Structure 1
Amino acid sequence: MPDASPFVSLSRHQEPRTSTKRALLSLSRSIEARALASAPQAQLWVSLQHVRFHTGLTRRLHEDMARAGVEVHVYGVGVRDGRPGPVLLRGHDISEFGQLAQEWDVLLVTPDGALGLAARQVDPVPVGAADDLERRFEWVLSEDRADVVYAAASLPGEDFVLGRDFGVPRPA
């Protein structure tokens, strides 16, 4: 049975570090760039808390990846499937009260590797902040393929993670 969320799953194996969103952005973007470079044989799962974080550059990047053949799944409060866009870009609405609504996860599985960033917000946006880049997250990073696949399987309705054969043993 999968864990409650990607952060719960990946943080079992290492002690989380704490950083601001600003510090984690380049790590997130590098995983997304790796997904694009691995197209069309890549799957990417992104939980980004709320639909307001899936706009502009982030949305365009996910659309570009999907057009290149990357299977992209985006989770967030208010994210709904059916918005016009590439067929391989799927939106998944989540509950604002669930654990996933506090997470920022970027999970990538390719035929020859995997990389997963799982982060959980630890405090609200600081009072007086001009933007949200100072939000603080506990986070972990894993390159262990089995751990990243298991973390992706914790996402709501994501039994599809086992649909492709990337050489990962299927759970019994």
Structure 2
Amino acid sequence: MSQADIMQRHPSTIFPEPFVPLEQYQQVLDQPQPGFDGATHKAVEVEPLETEDGYLQQWEVVPLSAEELAQLEAERLAAEQAARDAARITISRTQGLVYIYRNLRVTEAEVEALIAGMEDEDAKYEAGLYFRAATWDSDNPHVLMFGAGIGLDTPTKLEDAFSAALTL
């Protein structure tokens, strides 16, 4: 138990400074947790070790349960999604079209022709929908595809283009 736990259990007791536990409690000297891989294990406090100098806190490293592993994975996926959401740049279709014309000299009709030339009918249909959408997201796979087709073929080029288009 911590000092706070003991004090909470005995609210009408006045404890001296520095803190000294009541007789029924023994002070346990803190010991650092052992090293472990937090992705697969955790440190669990076990029964203190009695020594000539008093009690020493003890730890045992145990594998994480299936539920804990699932929770860690869910947290990892949520963090990855949050990072993608934070990095996403959204521009209006008009900003995108003005940018690609001014900077790449590519017209709306040329992008439509690029999409029309796609062989996969499903991908062609979806790319057309996203091209005609009111907004474009920098991480949308269809936007990435038609961006690559007009010369925005690296993540850096695409991000720079979206950042610049935001100012239009």
The interval holding the TM-score normalised by the smaller chain is under 0.3
- Relative to the length of structure 2, the TM-score reads 0.24
Report the TM-score, using the length of structure 1 for normalisation: 0.23
Greater share of strand: 1
Quick check: which one's helix share is greater? 2
Please say which structure displays the higher CA radius of gyration.
2
By relative contact order (CA 8 Å, sep 6+), the higher-ranking structure is: 1
